[in-house]
Structure 1
Amino acid sequence: MSKLFSISLSFIILLQSFGLHFDDLVQIDEFIEHAQFHNKEYGDNVLIFISKHYGELKADHDKEHQEEKEDHEQLPFQHQSHATSLTDFTLNTYNTEFNTPVFLEFSPANFHYQSLSSSLHSDGLLQPPRLS
């Protein structure tokens, strides 16, 4: 059952990535009927029919045949959806000069070592670091 669901979902995603929607698949019969009408009336083959309704000849065909406007609106694949990606580049100039700190005076280390009264330090095993 899960395989059937995943296959059908991936098929739907594939169809929608091509721009096909479910209502386009339902309107395929109107596409075929209108293509047959053009074949009988004008002698158009399928390629000329597609060019008149979806291609280069669409503007001329719409001007010449206003009476078929309602039929043309019922044809599939008439939706105009474009996925555009907008890219915005912002160029910012950053001042990359780093100010180095200025040391005005040098002071020697300000600590000293005091011997503790424990015997562990006198054995030499655990000696703290000394300033040379």
Structure 2
Amino acid sequence: MTKLIALILSFLLFAQSMNIGINDIILVDELFEHAQFHKAKYGDNFLVFLSKHYGEQKLEHSEKHQEEHQDHEKLPFQQQTQSTLISVLVINDSVPIDWSISSSDKVENYHYQPPSSSPFKSGIFQPPKVA
């Protein structure tokens, strides 16, 4: 049972990382129907069909066959998402930045006080005296 749960969670994580949603899974039958249409009308095998709708021939196919545009919108995996993180650091050269910390800028808010409880007075919980 544990292996089954791990397998399901792994598949879910993989599907989310590939941006596959429930809508795409539901529309897989549309993909196979359109593939059958291409096989009957154009004689395309499945790899050529994938190339025409998701690969190198996509632009050419969409320009030549405008009448299939509504069918193409129903196919799964058509959404395109981009998540980009752009970080820009602008440093003006006219303003010098001093990254060093002087000793007067340091705030001393640490004060060590040896433990006063009895278990710590014996040598067993103390650090070694001689290295």
Q: Counterparts of 1:72 and 1:97 in 2: how far apart (Å)?
A: 60
Aligned residue type for 2:83: A
Range with greater deviation from structure 2 (87-96 or 58-67): 87-96
User: Which runs of 5 or more residues in structure 2 are unaligned?
Assistant: 102-131
Q: TM-score, normalised by structure 2?
A: 0.63
Is the alpha carbon distance of 1:94 and 1:48 closer, same or farther for their aligned partners in structure 2, counting shifts above 3 Å? same
Would you say 1:52 and 2:52 are equivalent positions?
yes
- Structure with the greater alpha carbon radius of gyration: 1
Q: TM-score, normalised by structure 1?
A: 0.63
Partner of 2:20: 20
Deviations 1:47-105 (A, max 9, x none): 1111111111111111111111111000000001112121222336314799xxxxxxx
Deviations 1:24-68 (A, max 9, x none): 011000000101110111011111111111111111111111111
- How many residues are matched? 99
Q: Which has the higher helix share?
A: 2
Partner of 2:97: 94
Q: Counterparts of 1:2 and 1:90 in 2: how far apart (Å)?
A: 51
Is the alpha carbon distance of 1:97 and 1:36 closer, same or farther for their aligned partners in structure 2, counting shifts above 3 Å? closer
User: Displacement, 1:19?
Assistant: 1.5
Partner of 1:62: 62
Runs (4+) of structure 1 exceeding 3 A deviation are 1-11, 95-98
Percent of aligned positions with the same letter in both sequences? Answer: 46
User: Which runs of 5 or more residues in structure 1 are unaligned?
Assistant: 99-132
Aligned residue type for 2:53: H
